[in-house]
Amino acid sequence: MGVLAGRTALVTGGSRGIGRGIAERLGRDGARVAVHYGSDEPAAKAAVDAIRAAGGSAFALRAELGAPGDADELWREFDRHAEGLDILVNNAGIGTSRPFEEIDEAEYDRVFAVNVKAPHFITQLGATRLRDGGRIVNISSGLARTAMMPDKMAYAMTKGALDIFTRDLAKVLGPRGITVNTVAPGIIDTDNNADWLRSSDEAWAQASAISALGRVGTPADVADVVAFLASDEGRWVTGHWMDATGGSLT
């Protein structure tokens, strides 16, 4: 029996990258995991299959975030498979943005719609399904606390907004025993970053040097932090911004 046995988790953007790492870890810990995806159904199926192959329970659900009614669509799909929720991980997001001089209104609005508006209303509607004593974990970024990559300004701004959401929501839901925390990754080896991370040995070495630990992070590095916050051991941590950058901000 895993530490999350009998609990149900939803991981948005759970089919790839950090989200998949989180989904698989929560599945190994015993949770039944709803793997949300936006368009890549084969990737979502692969994530569900991996969780089941490891002895866990999972199902996939689709909803395009950033579109009108996205939160309603997501929860309609969720309700077809499960009754009630214990762990919500707001992970899905657009991972970059064009520089200040180049970004237009359409891209700006899209980044904020997916990275800020969607988590807000997914959580608002999900709060009625979230059982007392539940967990909410929002996936932010180290870029919300540093100007290391100022060319991704709009993206970093969305993560700053998500951090404020975490802080204030912890007060709103605290009376129900629900904890709300942020986990902020640094540079992580995912398919989203592969084009530049793996473009050369030099690029990989430069990325590794940013971390105090001298390496590029993995989805599992982030997933393990989320798993702690989702567990009973994380019960006294709420409203917290958890640095999971491997010391990249030191």
Alpha carbon distances (Å) from 217 to 40, 142, 152: 24, 13, 19
Residue 163 has pLDDT above 90, yes or no: yes
Q: How far apart are CA 47 and CA 68, in angstroms?
A: 27
Confidence of residue 91 (pLDDT cuts 50, 70, 90): very high
pLDDT for the residue numbered 110: 97
pLDDT tens, position by position, 120-137: 999 999 999 999 999 999
Q: What is the mean pLDDT of residues 93-122?
A: 96
Q: Rounded to two decimals, what is the model's pTM?
A: 0.96
Find out if CATH 3.40.50.720 is the number for domain 8-238: yes
Catalytic residues, by residue number, are 155
The domain spans of the chain are: 8-238
Q: What is the mean pLDDT of residues 109-127?
A: 98
Residue 1 has pLDDT above 70, yes or no: no
Q: How far apart are CA 40 and CA 15, in angstroms?
A: 8
Residue 102 has pLDDT above 90, yes or no: yes
Residue 230 has pLDDT above 70, yes or no: yes
List the single range of 23-37, 182-196, 228-242 with lowest mean pLDDT: 182-196
Name the average pLDDT for the chain: 96
pLDDT for the residue numbered 178: 98
Q: What is the mean pLDDT of residues 199-213?
A: 92
Q: What is the mean pLDDT of residues 97-124?
A: 97
Residue 250 has pLDDT above 90, yes or no: no
Residue 195 has pLDDT above 90, yes or no: no
Q: Is residue 91 within 8 Å of 102, Cβ to Cβ? A: no
Q: What is the mean pLDDT of residues 90-109?
A: 95
Q: What is the mean pLDDT of residues 20-32?
A: 98
pLDDT tens, position by position, 28-46: 999 999 999 999 999 999 9
Confidence of residue 63 (pLDDT cuts 50, 70, 90): very high
Structure tokens, 182: 């942020």
Alpha carbon distances (Å) from 28 to 31, 48, 56, 66: 7, 12, 6, 30
CA atoms within 13 A on the CB side of 184: 22
Q: How far apart are CA 187 and CA 128, in angstroms?
A: 34
pLDDT for the residue numbered 145: 92
Q: What is the mean pLDDT of residues 50-69?
A: 97
Q: How far apart are CA 15 and CA 181, in angstroms?
A: 22
